Amino acid sequence: MNKPLRRLVAAFATASLAVLGLSACAPSYPEATPITNDMVGVQMNMWSFASIEAECEFLGQAGYDWALVSPPQESIPGGEWWSHYQPVSYKIDSSLGTEAQFKSMVKTCKSHDVQIMVDVVLNHMTGQMNGKGFAGTEFSKYEFAGLYATDDFNQCPTGVSQIEDWSNVEEIQKCELLGLADLNTSKSNVRDKLVAYLRDLRNMGVAGFRVDAAKHIPANELKQMVDQLDGNTTFISEVIGEMPPQSEYYAFGHVFSFDWITQMRNIFSSNGLLGGSADQNYFDMLSPSDKTVTLVSNHDTERNGGAVTYMFPKAFNLASVFTLAVPYGKPMMYSSYAFNDNDQGPFADFTGYQPKETCVANYGPDHGAYEPGEWVCQHRWPAITGMIAFHKAVGDSKFTNIWQEGDAYGFGRGKLGYVAFNTGDTDVAATIKTSMPAGTYTDRISGGDVVVAADGSMQVALASWTAVAIDVKSKK
């Protein structure tokens, strides 16, 4: 159903309930569209609300359907990006901006058809012994006035407060992650506070959530919170590793694919490793496509060596192209700032708030070196925005016409698209057989022309570490 039609149907449903004198039991929320495989998201890591608001016109035009915002709630103060993962209260006020700016962002982005998703920290509160939050809220560890008292936090069954045995699910879920005060979500009063926060955000027009540290929250307790929101709300749980199994979480929402991050790093970290990657059997072994958000990197893996990052720009570019090119998952792109210190967050001014973010000049994989703090703006890289259009044009069509020549590799997506990569040091000129209709196409990567002959063959010149992509919607 298209967006206006969906609105109309929703309006009728409400009207007919009113005519019948009935009222819906569940509270009604602003419109939200559950994410689909055709949609593309982007994590705007540590972008301030005002800057995302300003960027949403671009995001909408580029075809991004949703943007993920870093944890917006009040946290401990401090210039480290990770202070945002240490909540002090659920007031929307942090170096990323105020509640007014947050609401304005959601509204403006919606007007550009970009939904806002929020990174929510439900597993824990800050680990600091005591202090004052960014918005002035005083706290001590295990005492958060108006929210939680000591008995609302888990007692680690091992007697040591920290998680030690990472194969023991009870420890993973009931002991402290990094010394962060671990909320006891088996208690309904604790879940009620967390649900109130989620409802507040949903009422502000937020469409869904990334559940931070979800594996540290028992799936059945998280589900009880999810069930208290409306069914259009998107949930994406962060569940890394084997224990607990991801399937417990995709039973009621989505999961991020950390296998995908690893696979992209493995494939794109050296020359010529793409061969065989257009393999439907491989995708069928992963978590279900309609439950899985695929990504090249996030804020953690960008720092821990687990992912391809902007520091290897050609690899990052092609890994993002590949993620948008295959019939698997609900892709989320990643956009971030340059750093040379893992802890350093974006610079804030004397008010404590971040000044407006602006992209580096000449953003793209050929930009060269960055100064720490510069905004890399991977979400604007031409190959990535070009491939959003490809992704939407090819839908769920199957792999066809797989081609390999040395370090170059390509595949079709039925009759709807074709993409070829060269992950070798030498340029490749080749003729590739496709199932595309004859004609002249615009390459989604370079913007140049690609001609498909009557027999479906196309001639391509693939420079080292570039790609070429055409689809039915790029036909001239």
Q: Can 138 be counted among the known catalytic residues?
A: no
User: According to CB under 5 A, which residues from 198 to 257 bind Ca ion?
Assistant: 216
123 part of the interface to Ca ion, by CB under 5 A: yes
Contact region with Ca ion (CB under 5 A), list: 80-88, 172-180, 353-361, 439-447: 172-180
Task: List the single partner that 180 binds among ligand LM2, Ca ion, none, CB under 5 to 8 Å by kind.
Answer: ligand LM2
Preceding amide of 244 cis, omega within 30: yes
Of 106 and 122, which has the nearer Cβ to ligand LM2? 122
Of 234 and 298, which has the nearer Cβ to ligand LM2? 298
Question: Least distance to ligand LM2 from the beta carbon of 236, Å?
Answer: 12
Question: Least distance to ligand LM2 from the beta carbon of 47, Å?
Answer: 16
Q: Can 357 be counted among the known catalytic residues?
A: no
Task: List the single partner that 380 binds among Ca ion, ligand LM2, none, CB under 5 to 8 Å by kind.
Answer: none
Long-range Cβ contact pairs of 270-279 (< 8 A, separation 24 or more): 271/407, 271/423, 271/424, 271/425, 272/406, 272/407, 272/423, 272/424, 273/423, 274/322, 274/407, 274/409, 274/421, 274/423, 275/404, 275/409, 277/322, 277/409, 278/326, 278/399, 278/402, 278/409, 278/411, 279/399
Catalytic residue among 74, 238, 302, 407: 238
Residues forming beta bridges with residue 469, ordered by sequence position: 419
Of 122 and 388, which has the nearer Cβ to Ca ion? 122
Footprint of ligand LM2 (CB under 6 A): 82, 85-86, 121, 127, 177-180, 212-213, 238, 299-300
Task: List the single partner that 213 binds among ligand LM2, Ca ion, none, CB under 5 to 8 Å by kind.
Answer: ligand LM2
Question: Least distance to ligand LM2 from the beta carbon of 378, Å?
Answer: 18
Task: List the single partner that 127 binds among ligand LM2, Ca ion, none, CB under 5 to 8 Å by kind.
Answer: ligand LM2
Q: How far apart are the C-alpha atoms of 14 and 30, rounded to whole Å?
A: 13
The residue from 119, 182, 212, 221 that contacts Ca ion (CB under 5 A) is 182
Q: Is the dihedral of CA 26, 28, 29, 32 positive or negative?
A: positive
Question: Least distance to Ca ion from the beta carbon of 167, Å?
Answer: 16
Of 175 and 295, which has the nearer Cβ to Ca ion? 175
Of 342 and 440, which has the nearer Cβ to ligand LM2? 342
Task: List the single partner that 182 binds among Ca ion, ligand LM2, none, CB under 5 to 8 Å by kind.
Answer: Ca ion
Across the beta sheet with 97-98, what order do the strands follow? 73-75, 87-94, 97-98
Q: Is 208 exposed, middle or buried (0-12, 13-18, 19+ CB in 10 A)?
A: buried
- CB of 331 within 8 A of CB of 293? yes
Task: List the single partner that 178 binds among ligand LM2, Ca ion, none, CB under 5 to 8 Å by kind.
Answer: ligand LM2
- CB of 254 within 8 A of CB of 271? no
Q: How far apart are the C-alpha atoms of 462 and 105, rounded to whole Å?
A: 40
Question: Least distance to ligand LM2 from the beta carbon of 192, Å?
Answer: 22
Contact region with Ca ion (CB under 5 A), list: 38-46, 144-152, 175-183, 317-325: 175-183
Question: Least distance to ligand LM2 from the beta carbon of 130, Å?
Answer: 13
- CB of 339 within 8 A of CB of 373? yes
Task: List the single partner that 230 binds among Ca ion, ligand LM2, none, CB under 5 to 8 Å by kind.
Answer: none
Of 88 and 326, which has the nearer Cβ to ligand LM2? 88
Of 180 and 436, which has the nearer Cβ to ligand LM2? 180
Question: Least distance to ligand LM2 from the beta carbon of 61, Å?
Answer: 30
Question: Least distance to ligand LM2 from the beta carbon of 213, Å?
Answer: 3
Strands 97-98 and 41-44: unpaired
Task: List the single partner that 160 binds among ligand LM2, Ca ion, none, CB under 5 to 8 Å by kind.
Answer: none
Of 213 and 436, which has the nearer Cβ to ligand LM2? 213
Indicate which residues carry an active-site annotation.
212, 238
Interacting residues with Ca ion (CB under 5 A): 123, 173, 182, 216
